[in-house]
Structure 1
Amino acid sequence: MLRLVLAVLFSGALSLPASADVSIKRLFGKEQRALNAIPQTHLVSLLERSKAAKVSSGGITYSRDWLAGQPKQSGGREWRCLAEALYFEARGESVKGQFAVAEVILNRVSSASYPDTICGVVHQGTGRKYACQFTYTCDGHAEVIAEPRAFERVGKIAKLTMKSAKRPLTKGATHYHTKAVSPYWADKFPRTATIGFHHFYKQPSRLSRN
């Protein structure tokens, strides 16, 4: 936000007389020090809010402030499967990134190439070595919800995604991976979006299952 202010000030400063140069430098020096003094977490929050995007149907805003104002959610087995997948797969992501991962799971449910339930998609291949679709279901670690506030947030996202008629963020993506890895299929599938720490891809129709 302050960077935007600085940019506006700088563009205006170009037309000022030379006598104003010292004052401008002092102003920019103060603004830069003020910017450096703001905690990184607060800057991220400001950035997220400034980029908040809305879904045309449903009025979803991808920001923590908006999500915090939504009622706490609960649900049945399908809701639980989606909420747990978001918690273990994407709780460190931005709100927008978490919605994007939720979209991928729902996109798979809608695809003939995958199970037709959320729990079926999330647990597809679980128990078979190297065959699970979501790492947390077969990494050998106990699935413990140790951060209840984070789970409350993803629980809201799960419910909102399940209720939404549109999934606009990932353009039909059925796959995603973190930027830290490069799975073999990433060169074969068209990338549809990059959000936060993840790249998103849509499985070509000529391919069946991965």
Structure 2
Amino acid sequence: MTTSSIRPNAHSAKERECLARAMFFESHRSSREGLVAVGTVVMNRVAADEYPNGICGVVGQKNQFAPGVMTRKMNSKAMPDVMAAADAVLKGERHPKVKNAKFFHQAGLKFPYKNMHYVLVAGGNAFYEKRSRAERLDGPLRKQSELAAAGLVENKPVAIAAGTEELEAMTLSYGAE
């Protein structure tokens, strides 16, 4: 994990809580890597014009994150780790393999869409960028062996194909937690 060279912004306690909520409910509190990956997606959306302004606007956007993400109680022994990861993301830390990805879904699900370019599987989620047809034709096919060799997956079996017709047969197998 790397820290951005951008100076950290001053964030309010409310923004910190909103970020922590997204990280808590979406990463399944499975690993720091998963927490920071979700936090990176949130911050990528904050920086993008097509999403609401601010962390709470992004996290609270309808149908984008887990139901009740803004209202459910966060009761867990993992809270100190979640808050520490949220603070690190607010200070500029980003998961380097997420890069500019603004999307993720639960690992193990499969979708027939050709525009999903997977970059990482972590914290029970598969992270991806949406790519245009031109970008897909220029981009490499991401097979399980390539992802493993590039260190893009946790030490769990995963099969991912993206960027061509092979995506229609894509299978993600994350394994039992």
Report the TM-score range of the alignment, normalised by the length of the smaller protein. Answer: 0.5 to 0.7
Match of 1:193 in 2: 120
Match of 1:89 in 2: 26
Larger relative strand fraction: 2
Structure 2: which 5+ residue stretches go unaligned? Answer: 6-10, 134-177
User: Per the alignment, do residues 145 and 112 of structure 1 end up closer, same or farther by CA in structure 2, a change over 3 Å counting?
Assistant: same
User: Per the alignment, do residues 189 and 145 of structure 1 end up closer, same or farther by CA in structure 2, a change over 3 Å counting?
Assistant: same
By relative contact order (CA 8 Å, sep 6+), the higher-ranking structure is 2
User: Percentage identity across aligned positions?
Assistant: 31
In the alignment, the residues of structure 2 paired with residue 137 and residue 205 of structure 1 have an alpha-carbon distance, to the nearest angstrom, of 32
Larger relative helix fraction: 1
Match of 1:112 in 2: 49
In the alignment, the residues of structure 1 paired with residue 111 and residue 19 of structure 2 have an alpha-carbon distance, to the nearest angstrom, of 23
In the alignment, the residues of structure 1 paired with residue 94 and residue 29 of structure 2 have an alpha-carbon distance, to the nearest angstrom, of 24
In the alignment, the residues of structure 1 paired with residue 94 and residue 2 of structure 2 have an alpha-carbon distance, to the nearest angstrom, of 8
* Pairing partner for 1:170 from 86, 89, 98: 98
How far did 1:164 drift? 1.0
The answer on whether the counterparts of 1:93 and 1:197 sit within 8 Å (CA) in structure 2 is yes
In the alignment, the residues of structure 2 paired with residue 188 and residue 205 of structure 1 have an alpha-carbon distance, to the nearest angstrom, of 6
How far did 1:182 drift? 2.6
Larger radius of gyration, structure 1 or 2?
1
User: Per the alignment, do residues 205 and 123 of structure 1 end up closer, same or farther by CA in structure 2, a change over 3 Å counting?
Assistant: farther
Match of 1:55 in 2: 2
Structure 1: which 5+ residue stretches go unaligned? Answer: 1-53, 59-73, 126-131
In the alignment, the residues of structure 1 paired with residue 26 and residue 123 of structure 2 have an alpha-carbon distance, to the nearest angstrom, of 13
Q: Tell me, what secondary structure is at the counterpart of 1:103? A: helix
In the alignment, the residues of structure 2 paired with residue 99 and residue 193 of structure 1 have an alpha-carbon distance, to the nearest angstrom, of 12
Are 2:79 and 1:151 aligned? yes
Aligned 1:14-93 pairs, distance under 5 A: 54-55=1-2, 76-93=13-30
Deviations 1:107-161 (A, max 9, x none): 0111111112111111111xxxxxx1012337xxx611221x3122111111110
In the alignment, the residues of structure 1 paired with residue 80 and residue 26 of structure 2 have an alpha-carbon distance, to the nearest angstrom, of 15
User: Per the alignment, do residues 56 and 107 of structure 1 end up closer, same or farther by CA in structure 2, a change over 3 Å counting?
Assistant: closer
Match of 2:40 in 1: 103
How far did 1:171 drift? 1.5
| Alpha-carbon RMSD | 2.8
Match of 2:153 in 1: none
TM-score in terms of structure 1 length: 0.53
User: Per the alignment, do residues 198 and 122 of structure 1 end up closer, same or farther by CA in structure 2, a change over 3 Å counting?
Assistant: same
